[in-house]
Structure 1
């Protein structure tokens, strides 16, 4: 036994010792040159993109199709633009600037912007143009509107697929009047065209509310309608709705905007968007004209309001003038002729000026109090002026007190007459000027540019939409790729095994199309081996590399037997076992392959041998070693099949005769390869592993997560079986990052004749 153990297939004359094997193994694992991190990252990114190129192409193509569909079905939107100028307030006559304090402040552009968007202006437009009535043909979802817009015939288009209730182009309706109960405002009604200009209106529940004829007012219970025009096939349906004033204004405001052009330019830009270029031009023009009219009305109303105030003051002032004159004349008659000295006349003149100014300021204050509170700056300014006039009047009162009593009385009476006459005359003149101003009011805004509608639709152009769709398609495909790679936890890189499990990967076997063909043939009964039929295949070349690597890596093995297993089914462990046995036999080694998968073993098929007389018969004592050994067409290669499938494979493998089988085979052959069931599926591999010299696990690219491999290694270790390393199987070298070799694992190097 000891002599046999020293006769391992991994030792050969002239082979260096253990330290040399370690150095060789390390050298094999580090053969690829190290690129700089930046170049490697860029290369990996490009490789990943190339791996998923069909996904990127499919998603991008789908996005382009959606973009084309959007271009086809999207309703074109047009924009109408207009320009207004806000001027300083002016009346009908330039000479009335003195009335500016009575007519208010200069126009505020920000206030005018709000007025242009107010319900006062937009509500009038809605009412005048009947924008609160919605009457449009009902089109087929998604494509119906696009088909209708592209139909240019005079008569209604024929229905598609017999869908006669939808409009397919050419249908017209004009509703001049629609009255509904308050509960039905903003609710959708349906108008169904009938024969010879007839129609029927139904509510949202499909109940008929009235019937009528085109050109005649139709009246039903709580409903009335006047349809001026209806051109449609009988049975065609129209969406009908009466909007509330608030909803109609909000709908108009949603597509309407106004802003100042430039800073402090007093130029206001108005724009309105919509699907009907003719209608939006009419609506925008009416908005500007309505705003202009209300501006003139507002200016005229201000003048009228001031005039009304003055006319209420004039009768009282006339009475005051008459009373002052009567008092003055009576006093002079009672005292005789009285003349004022020059000094008294000077004082009288000054007092009259002060009194007139005070009266005018009080009138201005009364006018301002109608619009402002006493704390307003304008009223405060008037109060300050009145206070200064009162101080001047007190100074004059001191001068008057120094005059004789007769002179004081004459001065007071003459002052009252003068002040009353002057004030009355000024108010008469002001009232007359206001009457002229009211008649000549032109407003302080004017239309610079009437509404103009662009010939081309606004918004993104078809080319831009397709460009955006292309970009979004690429970006979305990148997101999908990222999610797939983030959610996909399977091992696709052998370096992950080495870094996370700390075990070497002795070989990376690329995917073989030839092996797929051979497996397809084997299902029809013709079994062939890849290493025999296609010895130049890259997968076979990788197994030759595994043969060399194992020679140095397993020099310290105590037995010449090698267990090959995996974590789960379908990893290709039997493929590795069979073809590794062939490449070992091709260099003169005496090799035997033991099919220890007593549940699903099928290695005998590829060698054209029978299942009977195998492991189960030997362990059961029903056959000798010579009886279970089967030669193959490959020189130096024998196989031991599973034998009859036993009901208790694990118990059979635990029998001492199974250990005897491996020991006797080890004495006869240079290498014993044992193909075992998956570790996580059954416990057979853990049982067999205690009787072999080394254990290799097969991992398949993209088949299982690293956690599965970790659990398999852990389970073997718990059973006292040490996993020597891994064989990474079925690496897809067609992917870009593997095409020219994956960091030294795979290189394409064919024979040349």
Structure 2
């Protein structure tokens, strides 16, 4: 049973302005899905392109490896427990923050650069983009053959070892080019292609302030190498960019060193050298501190020795001259107290001298030592008062004995300290140690190939969404029949869905692979044909008050499908038992005759010229009740022919023979033919196509016809994307699909 498709407003009796209200405001999820499906091939294409680019990046990008090592920073202590008393002489405890700065200092990194010659850059020059990828994957003992004839580039297997390179100061950090020759010969040129040096592998070459010694060179003759002598600052800066050091855990004293690079063997060697250089300088620093203190003590010991000998001699001489004198118990107590005060004062003076070399007089530590010295001086004055009350002989003996005791004690202590420092210096091991030597990761660090491809796919998807947004922003075209009704106030009598079957038929006709076929005949259940049946019903009521039984179908511009509507609507009307004639009034490009398999000649042109009768130009088709009138010969003045009285007579005579006349006219805005014909027919319909023109174009077409005295009845909206409408409006989209079901 045939099911008629009606406009929702007409079927329910609801006023059109109410029925056409939007269900919701803004862009809904359904509309987003619909737009995505509409542009699915663009999304797929851009995403595929992004994946291809991502795959190319994975193939050509050079892997980066990471080497790391661990160092422990210990609290600064002496090599033997008995030497803890020397800590004030050896300085404060080591801080981790200070060691972090030392590890990144020029003192350490500069030594590494010098030892490993990192200021010499020598590497094969590869072809941009693909050269590294090819060279990296080459496996062979000899240099690879040139690819695509680019013999100046390295393609894998090339090696160079430059042990020494000196250049004039203006050429520091300036790139040079080394060209390999025959039998180990080479030539060095500058940026201006001037030869600055020539030589042979294994022999030092010098000229014009340049000097180079190449220990090894293996390459095809003509292969070029990048060569550069960096300044110390540049080499250190380049090393710092790939180098990092941090503390593992708060206050753990464990420092982690890491180095990134493309050569796994080289970064391991460089990081090991950094570790060893740091430990070596730490030991040297500790040893230098002990050496400095020992040197000071050695300079003091001889003078103290002389002072001890002089004090003993004076004491012995006085006892010989006075006879044997013994100190009373009271005098011995005073002697011990005075000696202790003198000994303490001397130690504080030494400590103050050490501190003065590091701190200003306002430093709290120095002020505390000065306060202690002041207290000792006060006590000394007290004891001196007690000594002054002793007999003269006891005072002299006490003074001489004091000098002997103080000098001997100080000399002995300094001598012991010197011996301990010698032992400490010999056993200095530093306060840092290597926990883990440099180890290189087995796999490259950074983004993995799968992650790169995933990121590329995501970027491709985002790029496609941006492209869709851009295209949508540029497209100010009509996508929805409701827009026409809202803006122009004219009804849309039918919305014809997009038909893939019609595309196939048109393609066959254009390529000549088959005879002309009508969609209404070959695919009667197609959604587009069902919509034309709905149009048939609507037109029956729309033309009840019309004086003529003729219908003009036109459009605003070419390529909208007006001929498709005309011929298939005619077939649908004929199938309902009506006598239908289709008049091809497009005297410029008319082609309806092709679909019906008849010739163009003997048509409208011949009838208006009086060369044919009505019987001659009305041609039956294979479809019962359907006839056509072709254009005839293409005239040079189509508009003048259509304005001829005989064209009006033609329409009148056809109106007496047929129930409905369908006139297919040229576009309104292109030529004036449609305006001429519109005054002679009962109703005029304009065909609009989804996504082909802005609403202003349709407004202009209606205005053009109105100015010519033609009243536009309404619109037929062609090529509607029902899939998008379905997702945009939900069930509402299904009104465009309702056909046969078994």
Q: What TM-score, normalized by structure 1, do the two folds share?
A: 0.80
1:169 alignment counterpart: 156
2:96 alignment counterpart: 109
Q: Are residues 1:749 and 2:724 paired? A: no
Flag the 1:598–1:231 CA change in 2: closer, same or farther, 3 A: closer
Flag the 1:560–1:432 CA change in 2: closer, same or farther, 3 A: same
Give 1:292 deviation, angstroms. Answer: 0.9
Give 1:444 deviation, angstroms. Answer: 0.6
Q: Deviations over 1:676-730 (max 9, x none)?
A: 4333334554565566554432122332234433444455567676644432223
For 1:171 and 1:86, locate their aligned partners in 2 and report how far apart those are by CA, in whole Å. Answer: 43
Flag the 1:516–1:736 CA change in 2: closer, same or farther, 3 A: same
Flag the 1:585–1:22 CA change in 2: closer, same or farther, 3 A: same
Which residues of 2 match residues 155-234 of structure 1 at below 5 A?
Answer: 155-234=142-221
2:255 alignment counterpart: 268
Give 1:654 deviation, angstroms. Answer: 7.5
For 2:491 and 2:460, locate their aligned partners in 1 and report how far apart those are by CA, in whole Å. Answer: 41
Q: Deviations over 1:301-326 (max 9, x none)?
A: 22223334445555776787789889
Whether the 8 Å CA contact 2:642–2:676 is kept in 1: the answer is: yes
Give 1:252 deviation, angstroms. Answer: 2.4
Give 1:89 deviation, angstroms. Answer: 1.0
1:133 alignment counterpart: 120
Q: Which one is further off, 233-242 or 345-354? A: 345-354
Give 1:602 deviation, angstroms. Answer: 4.7
Give 1:571 deviation, angstroms. Answer: 0.6
2:556 alignment counterpart: 567
Whether the 8 Å CA contact 2:75–2:431 is kept in 1: the answer is: yes
Q: Which one is further off, 49-58 or 237-246? A: 49-58
Find 1:387's aligned residue among 342, 359, 371.
Answer: 371
Which residues of 2 match residues 324-723 of structure 1 at below 5 A?
Answer: 353-354=340-341, 356-375=343-362, 379-387=363-371, 389-391=373-375, 393-394=377-378, 397=381, 422-498=409-485, 503-509=490-496, 510-514=498-502, 517=505, 521=509, 529-532=518-521, 534-552=523-541, 560-597=549-586, 599-603=588-592, 608=598, 614=604, 630=618, 632-633=620-621, 637=626, 670-685=659-674, 694-713=683-702, 723=712
For 1:574 and 1:560, locate their aligned partners in 2 and report how far apart those are by CA, in whole Å. Answer: 19
What is the DSSP-based 3-state SS (H/G/I as helix, E as strand, rest coil) of the residue aligned with 1:140?
Answer: coil
For 2:351 and 2:482, locate their aligned partners in 1 and report how far apart those are by CA, in whole Å. Answer: 93
For 1:519 and 1:65, locate their aligned partners in 2 and report how far apart those are by CA, in whole Å. Answer: 33
Flag the 1:367–1:517 CA change in 2: closer, same or farther, 3 A: same
Q: Which one is further off, 720-729 or 657-666? A: 657-666
Whether the 8 Å CA contact 1:81–1:269 is kept in 2: the answer is: yes
Q: Which one is further off, 153-162 or 706-715? A: 706-715
Q: Deviations over 1:117-169 (max 9, x none)?
A: 22211221121122222222333333333333333322333333443333333
For 1:276 and 1:118, locate their aligned partners in 2 and report how far apart those are by CA, in whole Å. Answer: 24
Flag the 1:295–1:723 CA change in 2: closer, same or farther, 3 A: farther
For 2:271 and 2:511, locate their aligned partners in 1 and report how far apart those are by CA, in whole Å. Answer: 79
Flag the 1:71–1:23 CA change in 2: closer, same or farther, 3 A: closer
Flag the 1:366–1:544 CA change in 2: closer, same or farther, 3 A: same
Find 1:294's aligned residue among 256, 281, 295.
Answer: 281
Q: Are residues 1:86 and 2:73 paired? A: yes
For 1:71 and 1:430, locate their aligned partners in 2 and report how far apart those are by CA, in whole Å. Answer: 66
What is the DSSP-based 3-state SS (H/G/I as helix, E as strand, rest coil) of the residue aligned with 1:258?
Answer: strand
Give 1:265 deviation, angstroms. Answer: 1.7
Q: Deviations over 1:329-378 (max 9, x none)?
A: 99999999999887777666556545544543443343233334445xxx
What is the DSSP-based 3-state SS (H/G/I as helix, E as strand, rest coil) of the residue aligned with 1:160?
Answer: coil
Give 1:579 deviation, angstroms. Answer: 2.5
Whether the 8 Å CA contact 2:203–2:213 is kept in 1: the answer is: yes
Give 1:483 deviation, angstroms. Answer: 4.1
For 2:642 and 2:666, locate their aligned partners in 1 and report how far apart those are by CA, in whole Å. Answer: 12
1:6 alignment counterpart: none
Give 1:751 deviation, angstroms. Answer: 7.6
For 2:682 and 2:101, locate their aligned partners in 1 and report how far apart those are by CA, in whole Å. Answer: 92
Whether the 8 Å CA contact 2:180–2:222 is kept in 1: the answer is: yes
What is the DSSP-based 3-state SS (H/G/I as helix, E as strand, rest coil) of the residue aligned with 1:268?
Answer: strand
Q: What TM-score, normalized by structure 2, do the two folds share?
A: 0.81
Q: Which one is further off, 92-101 or 116-125? A: 92-101
Number of residue pairs aligned between Structure 1 and Structure 2? 727
Flag the 1:689–1:389 CA change in 2: closer, same or farther, 3 A: farther
Q: Are residues 1:150 and 2:140 paired? A: no
Whether the 8 Å CA contact 2:605–2:634 is kept in 1: the answer is: no
Give 1:560 deviation, angstroms. Answer: 4.8
Flag the 1:561–1:615 CA change in 2: closer, same or farther, 3 A: farther
Flag the 1:392–1:712 CA change in 2: closer, same or farther, 3 A: farther
2:109 alignment counterpart: 122
Give 1:100 deviation, angstroms. Answer: 1.5
For 1:136 and 1:403, locate their aligned partners in 2 and report how far apart those are by CA, in whole Å. Answer: 86
1:14 alignment counterpart: none
Flag the 1:725–1:177 CA change in 2: closer, same or farther, 3 A: same
What is the DSSP-based 3-state SS (H/G/I as helix, E as strand, rest coil) of the residue aligned with 1:743?
Answer: helix
Whether the 8 Å CA contact 2:334–2:387 is kept in 1: the answer is: no
Whether the 8 Å CA contact 2:31–2:727 is kept in 1: the answer is: no
For 1:690 and 1:360, locate their aligned partners in 2 and report how far apart those are by CA, in whole Å. Answer: 127
Q: Deviations over 1:442-497 (max 9, x none)?
A: 11111122223344444444444445445544554444444444444444444554
Q: Are residues 1:283 and 2:270 paired? A: yes
Give 1:743 deviation, angstroms. Answer: 0.3
For 1:100 and 1:456, locate their aligned partners in 2 and report how far apart those are by CA, in whole Å. Answer: 47
Flag the 1:600–1:197 CA change in 2: closer, same or farther, 3 A: closer
2:5 alignment counterpart: none
For 1:722 and 1:392, locate their aligned partners in 2 and report how far apart those are by CA, in whole Å. Answer: 124
2:4 alignment counterpart: none
Flag the 1:708–1:422 CA change in 2: closer, same or farther, 3 A: farther
Whether the 8 Å CA contact 1:597–1:675 is kept in 2: the answer is: yes
Whether the 8 Å CA contact 1:628–1:641 is kept in 2: the answer is: no
Give 1:107 deviation, angstroms. Answer: 1.2
For 2:499 and 2:15, locate their aligned partners in 1 and report how far apart those are by CA, in whole Å. Answer: 25
Q: Which one is further off, 326-335 or 253-262? A: 326-335
Task: Give the unaligned 5+ runs of structure 1.
Answer: 1-18
Give 1:22 deviation, angstroms. Answer: 7.1
Q: Which one is further off, 702-711 or 92-101? A: 702-711
Whether the 8 Å CA contact 1:697–1:723 is kept in 2: the answer is: yes
Whether the 8 Å CA contact 2:33–2:724 is kept in 1: the answer is: no
Q: Deviations over 1:488-542 (max 9, x none)?
A: 4444444554566565433222325346535753786966544455544443332
Give 1:88 deviation, angstroms. Answer: 1.1
Whether the 8 Å CA contact 1:616–1:646 is kept in 2: the answer is: no
For 2:311 and 2:490, locate their aligned partners in 1 and report how far apart those are by CA, in whole Å. Answer: 123
